[in-house]
Structure 1
C-alpha cells in the first residue's frame, strides 16, 4: 500500500508492506552513521545490519566484553562500520510472529513461510500453500514470486540460520527485557516436518558436544570441528 491508500502509516517508497509486517516496507530501515576519523564519509552499502547488532558493536567500541551467561542474537559490526571488513558480519535475518518463523532475508532474497493479511487492522496471518521467494533488489515491490523458478534451495540457508537459533533457545532460554529469569523458547517452522527439525537439532547438538570436548581437553579428545577436510 502507498500513502494514498493508508495515509496513517506513511509512504514506504518502492518497498512492499507497511509498519508492523515483515515485508521490506516495514523492516528495511535506512541507517546513517557519522564518526569522524573512523567511518568513511559518503560510503553507501546495502549490506544487512540488524538492530540487535548494536549491543555487541557498542561493547566492541568501548572495549568491553559482553556477559557470557547468555546467548546473543547480535553480532559485532565494528569492523564493517570502520571499513576494516569489506562486508557485514551477517548476511541473513529471521522474522518471527510470536514463536512462528514468518520469513527470512538472506542476501538479496526474501523467503516467506507465512503471509500477513492485506488489511493492517486485521492482524491475521495466512497460511501459504508453498513458500514464496523474491529478489528484493530487482523486485522491491515483491510482485514476482520466484519460488517456482527453482529458488526453493533458499530453504537450505533458512535452516542454516534458524537451527542454531533454536539450539541457543534450548541451551539458554529467553531472557525478556528487564528480567533476570529465563523462560522457555520455542520455534514453529511452517512446511518443515518436526521430525526433520528434531533430527537436524540433534546433529547440531552432537557437533557442539564434540567442539566442547575438543576445547576442554586441549585438543586431546576428538577432532577439531572447525577444521576443513583435506
Structure 2
C-alpha cells in the first residue's frame, strides 16, 4: 500500500497497517501462449503461494517432511478454478500492528471484524454481531503466535546476531524530534479516518536504535 490514504483510495489504511490499503495487492501475470490475455480471477492468494506454484511448473517435488507454507495455485491461474486458499494470517500478537487474520469474507483486526466482500473499505465494524467468530479467529491467531520462533532469545536468524525491533514489549518512546517530524508530515495529509494509536519502536535489550536524517 501507499504511504497515505489519499494514495490508496478507496481502500482504508496505509503501508505498515493491515487495513486493505496496506495489504491488498493485485497479482499480474504474463505468459504468452499459456495465460489468456485479459483473464481475471478474484480468488485469494498470498505471496507464499508463489514458491509451490513455481515448484510445480518446474516439475519439482513438494517436500513432505518440511511442508511449504504456500499453496499450489496452478489450477486457479491456468484453469480459472476457485482459489484453494480460504485464509491469510497477516499479523499475530506481539507485533507493532494489530493481530490480523482473514478467513473467507471476514477479516479480524484486533477486536474489529469486517466483511471484506460486502464492506471492502472496512467502514463498519461488525464484531458485535459475530462474537463467536471473533473468539474463533482470535484463538487461531493466538495459536499461530505460539508457533513462531522466540526471536530475541534463540539466535535462529543470523550469527552474530544483529539488533532488530520485534514485538510489543520492544515498543516505547522514540526521540521527541522524530515524533514532531512525523506529526508535521501527517498534518499535511488528508484525514480520511479517525486517528489510531501506533506504538513507537524500542530497542531490544542490549541494543540501540539510532534515528538519522528524516527518522528512517
Q: Provide TM-score, normalisation by structure 1.
A: 0.55
What runs of 5+ residues in structure 1 fail to find an aligned partner? 114-130, 180-186, 189-230
2:107 equivalent in structure 1:
110
1:27 equivalent in structure 2:
23
Conserved 8 A contact 1:40-1:83: no
Question: Could you tell me which of 89, 102, 116 is aligned with 1:94?
Answer: 89
Question: Could you tell me which of 59, 71, 77 is aligned with 1:81?
Answer: 77
> What count of residue pairs does the alignment treat as equivalent?
155
Conserved 8 A contact 1:111-1:133: yes
2:66 equivalent in structure 1:
70
Spell out, residue by residue over 1:62-88, the C-alpha distance to the aligned partner (whole angstroms, 9 max, x if none).
Answer: 11024445342211111211116x211
Conserved 8 A contact 1:39-1:83: no
Structure with more of its chain in strand, by fraction:
1
C-alpha deviation, 1:150, in angstroms: 2.8
Distance 1:58 1:111, change over 3 A: same
Distance 1:60 1:169, change over 3 A: farther
1:146 aligns with 2:141: no
State the 4+ residue runs in structure 1 displaced beyond 6 angstroms: none
Distance 1:58 1:155, change over 3 A: farther
1:224 equivalent in structure 2:
none
Conserved 8 A contact 1:38-1:82: yes
C-alpha deviation, 1:97, in angstroms: 5.8
1:133 aligns with 2:113: yes
CA distance in 1 between partners of 2:135 and 2:155 (Å): 25
CA distance in 2 between partners of 1:153 and 1:163 (Å): 15
C-alpha deviation, 1:164, in angstroms: 7.0
CA distance in 2 between partners of 1:169 and 1:12 (Å): 33
Q: Higher relative contact order at CA 8 Å, sep ≥6: structure 1 or structure 2?
A: 2
CA distance in 2 between partners of 1:61 and 1:98 (Å): 35
1:13 equivalent in structure 2:
9
Spell out, residue by residue over 1:184-212, the C-alpha distance to the aligned partner (whole angstroms, 9 max, x if none).
Answer: xxx99xxxxxxxxxxxxxxxxxxxxxxxx
C-alpha deviation, 1:35, in angstroms: 2.2
What runs of 5+ residues in structure 2 fail to find an aligned partner? 160-166, 169-216
CA distance in 2 between partners of 1:37 and 1:54 (Å): 20
CA distance in 1 between partners of 2:155 and 2:76 (Å): 28
2:136 equivalent in structure 1:
156
